[in-house]
C-alpha cells in the first residue's frame, strides 16, 4: 500500500514540477516553544533575532496550534498530516508505526535529497516507563505527584553559549550537510532539524526516573531576557480550579506555594532557553546564506507544543491553555509574502499538505490538514479548498485524567472532556479573556451547543474516549503481566515513588478496582 502511494505521488509530482525549479525546504522544529513569543507583545520579552528575521522577511501565523500538546502525538500529526485520533497516537509510547509514510518520504520519492537530524519522536515505543504507565493509569482513583517541582539552574558564565550540547551537535551536522549539498546544486533538498530546547532538563537530583523539571541556562542567554517585561501570571484559587486542571497541577508538583520571585525566575530561564534555540535556527539561516542557497530555500520554524512556564499554576505542556497549545509557525522563502501576519487558525497537520504544495506534489489520501500556501503565496495560481475556520487539538496522555478535546473557532476556545457529560466543559472568550481565567460555558449555552455540534461532526469524541480508556486498561494489564512477581517493586519505583510509598496497599488496590471493577467487588464479597 505504501509503495503504491509513493508511486502515485511520483507521477503527480513529476507532472507538476517538470517545468519549474523546485525550492529547497528546511524545517527547524523545536520542542516546547510558546508560539506567542514570535509576535508582539510576546516577542518583546526576549531577544530572538533569527525568528524576528523570519517574521520580517516571511510569513507569521498568529494562531497556530498543536494537534496534541505532548511530544510524540503532536509530531505524529505533523509527519502524517492526520489528527491523532485517526492514527491512534494516544500517548508518548503509542504513535505512528515505524513504516508510516511521512511527507519527507514523499519528497524523497519525488527527487528530493532528504536528511532528518535531531529529535524525531513520532513512532511508537519510546519515552520512559513512568511516562507510559502514568498515561495508562490516568483514570485510577489516586492522585500522585509524577514530576519534580519546577526549579531553575544557572550554569557557566557570560562566555557559556553552547549549553544543550546534543542540539548544538545536530545543528553543526545540519550546517555541514547544507554545505555538502551546496556543492551539488542539481537536486533540490529537504532538511529537517529537531531540537530538544527549550524543553526543561531532567532534574538529576531526583534520580534516574526523574522527568524534566529543571529550567537551565547560562548568564549569556539570561542577558537576552528583558526582566521588566516578564509578567507574573494570575492564578485561580485552588478551590476554583477545573477538576482536570487541578489534577494536572498536583501531578506536575505545582500545588505547593511559590513566591513571585520563583515564578519570575522560572519564566526568565525558560525565555533564555528559547533564545538559545533561536541561535541554532540562526546557524541554519546563516549557512544557507553563506552557500547562496537562501534565495531558493523555504525555511520553516515551528514547535511540537508550547510551555506553560507557571501559567495556570503549571509548567510543561499537556494542556489546552494558550501557553501549552499555541505554537510558532513561520515561513520564509521564494514566492512567499514578506512581513505578512496571518490571523487564520491553523495547526500542525497543515504542514503535510503545505510542504507537498511547495514541492509541487499533489496530495492524495485523506489528510486532516489544508495547504497554507494560498494564504502566503505571492502567486494566485494556488487555488485550493479553503481552510476551515476552526482547529482541533486533543490529548489522551499523562498528567490529565480525561481525554481532552479543544476546538478553536473565531474568538472562542471550547474544551470538553471524555464523553462530554461526565466532566464539566470549558469555554473561553479569547478576545476578552486572553489569560483564560473565566470559564463562560454557563453564560453562553448557545455557543457551547454550536461548538459541540461542530466538534461532533469532526470527531465522535465520546467513542474515541471510550477507545482510549479500553486501550489503557489492555496496555497496562499486558505490561503488568509481563513483570510477573516484579510488578509491585517496579511500579513502586517509578517517578511517583515518593507519593506511592505513602500507602502502597491503597494504591495497588485502586489499580485493581480500575482494572476489574465489579469483578473485584464480587470476589471480595465472596471471601467475607
Distances 298 to 190, 350, 373 between C-alpha atoms, Å: 9, 16, 11
Q: Do residues 321 and 249 lie in contact, with contact meaning Cβ atoms separated by under 8 Å? A: no
Which cell numbers in the block locate residue 186?
A: 542539481
Produce one character per residue of 371-382: b if its CB has 16 or more CB atoms within 10 Å, e if not.
bbbbbbbeeeee
CA distance 265 to 260: 8
Tell me, letter by letter, the H, E, C secondary structure of 38-64. HCCCHHHCECCHHHHHHHHHCEEEEEE
CA distance 244 to 144: 14
Q: Left, alpha or beta for 313 (phi > 0: left; psi -120 to 50: alpha)?
A: left
CA-based torsion, 127, 129, 133, 134: positive or negative:
negative
The count of C-alpha atoms lying within 13 angstroms of the C-alpha of 470, restricted to the half-sphere facing its C-beta, is: 7
Contacting residues for 249 by C-beta, under 8 A, at least 6 apart? 238, 241, 255, 312, 313, 314
Tell me how crowded residue 113 is: count the other CB atoms within 10 A of its CB: 17
Which of these, 266, 290, 303, lies nearest to 152 by C-alpha position?
266
CA distance 121 to 71: 7
Give the SS3 label for residue 364: coil
Q: Do residues 412 and 211 lie in contact, with contact meaning Cβ atoms separated by under 8 Å? A: no
Separation of first and last alpha carbons in the chain = 57
Give the SS3 label for residue 470: helix
DSSP H or E run through 247: helix 243-251
- Which residue out of 71, 254, 274, 398 is catalytically annotated? 71
Q: Do residues 384 and 363 lie in contact, with contact meaning Cβ atoms separated by under 8 Å? A: no
Tell me, letter by letter, the H, E, C secondary structure of 59-99. EEEEEEECCCCCHHHHHHHHHHCCCHHHHCCCCCCCCECCC
User: In the 8-state DSSP scheme, what is residue 295?
Assistant: G
Is 71 an active-site residue? yes
Just list the catalytic residues: 71
Amino acid at each position: 500500500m505504501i509503495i503504491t502511494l509513493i508511486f502515485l505521488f511520483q507521477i503527480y509530482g513529476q507532472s507538476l514540477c517538470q517545468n519549474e525549479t523546485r525550492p529547497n525546504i528546511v524545517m527547524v522544529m523545536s520542542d516546547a516553544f510558546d508560539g506567542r513569543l514570535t509576535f508582539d507583545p510576546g516577542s518583546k520579552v526576549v531577544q530572538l533575532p533569527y525568528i524576528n528575521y523570519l517574521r520580517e522577511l516571511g510569513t507569521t501565523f498568529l494562531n497556530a496550534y498543536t494537534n496534541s500538546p505532548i511530544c510524540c502525538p503532536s509530531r505524529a500529526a505533523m509527519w502524517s498530516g492526520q489528527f491523532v485520533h485517526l492514527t491512534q497516537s494516544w500517548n508518548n509510547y503509542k504513535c505512528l508505526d515505524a513504516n508510516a509514510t511521512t511527507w519527507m518520504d514523499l519528497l524523497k520519492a519525488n527527487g528530493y535529497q532528504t536528511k532528518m537530524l535531531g529529535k524525531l519522536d513520532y513512532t511508537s515505543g519510546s519515552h520512559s516507563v513512568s511516562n507510559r504507565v502514568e498515561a495508562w493509569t490516568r483514570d485510577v482513583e489516586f492522585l500522585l505527584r509524577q514530576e519534580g517541582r519546577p526549579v531553575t539552574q544557572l550554569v557557566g558564565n557570560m562566555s557559556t553559549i553552547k549549553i544543550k550540547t546534543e542540539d548544538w551537535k545536530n545543528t553543526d551536522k545540519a550546517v555541514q550537510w547544507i554545505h555538502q549539498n551546496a556543492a551539488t546544486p542539481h537536486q533540490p533538498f529537504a532538511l529537517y532539524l529537531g531540537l530538544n530546547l527549550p524543553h526543561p532538563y531532567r532534574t538529576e537530583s531526583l534520580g534516574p526516573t526523574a522527568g524534566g523539571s529543571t529550567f537551565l541556562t547560562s548568564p549569556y542567554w539570561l542577558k537576552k531576557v528583558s526582566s521588566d517585561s516578564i509578567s507574573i501570571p494570575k492564578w485561580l484559587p485552588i478551590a476554583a480550579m477545573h477538576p482536570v486542571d487541578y489534577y494536572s497541577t498536583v501531578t506536575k508538583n505545582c500545588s505547593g506555594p511559590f513566591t513571585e520571585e520563583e515564578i519570575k525566575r522560572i519564566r526568565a530561564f525558560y525565555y533564555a532557553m528559547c533564545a538559545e534555540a533561536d541561535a541554532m535556527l540562526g546557524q541554519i539561516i546563516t549557512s544557507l546564506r553563506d552557500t547562496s542557497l537562501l534565495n531558493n530555500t523555504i525555511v520553516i520554524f515551528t514547535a511540537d507544543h508550547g510551555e506553560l512556564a507557571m501559567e495556570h499554576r503549571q509548567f510543561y505542556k499537556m494542556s489546552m491553555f494558550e501557553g501549552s497549545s499555541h505554537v510558532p509557525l513561520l515561513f520564509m522563502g521564494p514566492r512567499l509574502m514578506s512581513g505578512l501576519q496571518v490571523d487564520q487558525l491553523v495547526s500542525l497537520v497543515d504542514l503535510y499538505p503545505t510542504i507537498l504544495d511547495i514541492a509541487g506534489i499533489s496530495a492524495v489520501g485523506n489528510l486532516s490538514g489544508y495547504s497554507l500556501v494560498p494564504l502566503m503565496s505571492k502567486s494566485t495560481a494556488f487555488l485550493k479548498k479553503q481552510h476551515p475556520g476552526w482547529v482541533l487539538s486533543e490529548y489522551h496522555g499523562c498528567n490529565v485524567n480525561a481525554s481532552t478535546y479543544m476546538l478553536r473557532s473565531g474568538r472562542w476556545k471550547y474544551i470538553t472532556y471524555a464523553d462530554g457529560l461526565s466532566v464539566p466543559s470549558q469555554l473561553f472568550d479569547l478576545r476578552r479573556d486572553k489569560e483564560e481565567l473565566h470559564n463562560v460555558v454557563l453564560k453562553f449555552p448557545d455557543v457551547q451547543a454550536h461548538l459541540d455540534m461542530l466538534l461532533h461532526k469532526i470527531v465522535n469524541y465520546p467513542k474515541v474516549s471510550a477507545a482510549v480508556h479500553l486501550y489503557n486498561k489492555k496496555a497496562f494489564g499486558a505490561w503488568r503481566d509481563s513483570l510477573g512477581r516484579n510488578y509491585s517493586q517496579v511500579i513502586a519505583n517509578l517517578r511517583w515513588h515518593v507519593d506511592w510509598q505513602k500507602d502502597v496497599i491503597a494504591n495497588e488496590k485502586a489499580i485493581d478496582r480500575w482494572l476489574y471493577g465489579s469483578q473485584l467487588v464480587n470476589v471480595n464479597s465472596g471471601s467475607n
